[in-house]
Structures are given as C-alpha cells and as structure tokens.
Amino acid sequence: MGQTLIIPYDYAGWFEVIPSDFSRATCYTSIDAVAQAMPASFFTRSNLKGIRVEGEDDHQKYLERKIAAGSVLKTNGTFKAKWKTRAQTGLFKKKTKEWDMEEVTYLKCIDHDSLEILVPITHKGKFNAIYEKGKLTPNAVYSMKNILDDLSLPVMVRLLFGKAPVVPCIFTGTLILRETAVDDAIIGSSILNQRNVLFEIPLNAPVKVKYTSSDEHFAETDSYRDAKKLCRKYSDLFSTMIKLSAQADSSQKVIQHVPTDPSLMRDVDEALRALDLITDISLTSEPKDHLLDPSDSSSQGSYDQQNPIPKEAVLEAQRDSDYKSREFQTHV
C-alpha cells in the first residue's frame, strides 16, 4: 500500500529471510550456541556484557565492556578462566576468606575497534551468524549486497537493523524484494525553505531544470551555505538510505511526501513540514540506526545480564595458549 521502497545496493542494514510459512526466522538463543557453531562473525540483537583485557604483565586489568544490541563481532575461539570468589567473615573484624572456585568459559570476540572482548557463553539473548558467500548458514542475517548477489528474487525479508525509512504509514520492516534496477541519480539540497532538505532525482526523471546565470543573489545567504554544507557532509550517507519511489502501488490515494495537491494541505507551512519528511538529516541531527525487533525490546534497553566476572573474584588460572603470559592472580 503506498509507494514502493527503493533500497540501495550498499544499504548498511541487516535482514533475515522469512520462511515460506511466514513464521519468524530462527536465531541462536545463547552465546554457547554461537560458540558451538563458531561462525566467522555474528550479529547481536541483545545487549551484552563482556571483558576487555588492558595492559601487560603486572599492569594487566580485566575491565567490563558493554556491547550494544546491533553490534557485529568476529569470533576468535574460546577461552576458559578459573576465578576464586571471596567472602568476608567476622562481625566486627572483617576477614577475607576464599571459599569457592568457579570456571567460566568465554567466547573470544573482536569488536569494530579491533579490540578483543571475552563474552561468557552463559549469556542468553538473540544472535545471528553473518552470512558468508556460498554458505547457507542457519540463523544467518544478510546485507542487501548478499541478497542481490546470492539470492533469487522475489524474496521476503524482514529488516532487523538499520536506518528505517520515513513512510506515510507504520513501517513494519517486512518487505518483498521484487526486482533490481540500475539508475543514475543526482542528490541535492533545497535552498529557499524553512529547513534545508536533501532529495534525490533520477537522471531519467521527466523534469525540466533551468540553470541560474549567477548565484550572486543568494550565495551569501545562510540557507545557501547550509545547503552546501549539508551536501558535503551527508550526500554519501543519504545515497545509501532507503527512499520512496514516485509511484504508488495501489489506486488508493495517499498523501505524498512531496505534496503536489494543495487541497491536502491547509497552508504553506504544513506543506513545508511534509516536505521535511523526505529525510531526517540536518546539520545538527543525522539519522540513526535502529534495531527493529520488538520481540526482544527488553534486552535492547537493559544490560541486566549475568556479570562477565564473578563478584569479589580473583583470577586464579587460565587455560589457553594465547594467554600463557597472563597466568597470575589479577584482582578485579
């Protein structure tokens, strides 16, 4: 209903393929399941807590690291550590007593900053393998490049993470990808408007343009300078966002983002506000990526997961060839 969505080849988002029975696609429900499958990299739809190792030798520290939902992590094997947990005894004179030994297995991950993060395999949540070319991995998520290069259209998908388009109705993220096309387009910015707005015009669009002989009449205006800044800063980002086509899919009349029918708007100000819906980019606010997974909203907004380091714990022993230099007690 409404306009067709145009999704660029290099759109920076992740999709799951919807099964033929229209059920939810499957995913891993624990880090342990990810560790057993050991994909090259995985996408986390839940917030996590891990450990980041800092420093060397006697100055080494194990610090907590939050991993936000929507992150992509590379896998790098597993790591086991034994922790001594401590309890204080005595009513007036506190004494520390070691009373338990706990072994924790971690999945070694590399984040987008190329830093190693240790995530306990006991963490629960939703996780997906990143699709690898030529491998039909279960529980995989796909980029738009993966879908267009390796899957047959039409295909039904659900957008899990990315910049959602601004549409006249509720955007559910469930889409049917029908066909591909290659078009050249020009990206520009409005000038004489209440707010500068980026837009895209295909070169084959049935429009006529008239060049100005000189820009001296408005070159020094704030709106002209802001339009140039907006194009320089965000034109590349804007080119990778989901757009609305100029054509409607149905005969039902819908309010277009570019209002051409004055009867739909009460005055010029409302028309300009509707024009602003073309994009949510401005010089002070750029569009953000969102996790479109309402079924897992509880884990998106909270990091109330199991602590990656047992409370009041001392690192007693480690079992991994990459960590031989770290076999000493580290207080956390």
The predicted structure's pLDDT at residue 218: 80
| pLDDT tens readout for residues 220-279 | 888 888 999 999 999 999 999 998 876 656 555 544 444 445 554 455 455 445 545 556
State the pLDDT confidence band at 282, using cuts at 50, 70 and 90.
confident
Helix-strand-coil percent breakdown of the chain, rounded to 5?
Answer: 20, 35, 45
The predicted structure's pLDDT at residue 8: 94
The predicted structure's pLDDT at residue 295: 59
The predicted structure's pLDDT at residue 283: 78
Distance (Å, whole) CA 27 – CA 295: 13
Burial 314-329 (b: 16+ CB within 10 A, else e): ebbebeeeeeeebeee
State the pLDDT confidence band at 61, using cuts at 50, 70 and 90.
confident
| pLDDT tens readout for residues 200-226 | 888 888 888 888 877 777 888 888 889
| pLDDT tens readout for residues 88-112 | 666 666 666 666 677 888 999 999 8
The predicted structure's pLDDT at residue 309: 67
Task: Reply yes or no on whether the pLDDT at 167 is more than 80.
Answer: no
pTM: 0.77
Task: Reply yes or no on whether the pLDDT at 329 is more than 50.
Answer: no
Task: Reply yes or no on whether the pLDDT at 119 is more than 50.
Answer: yes
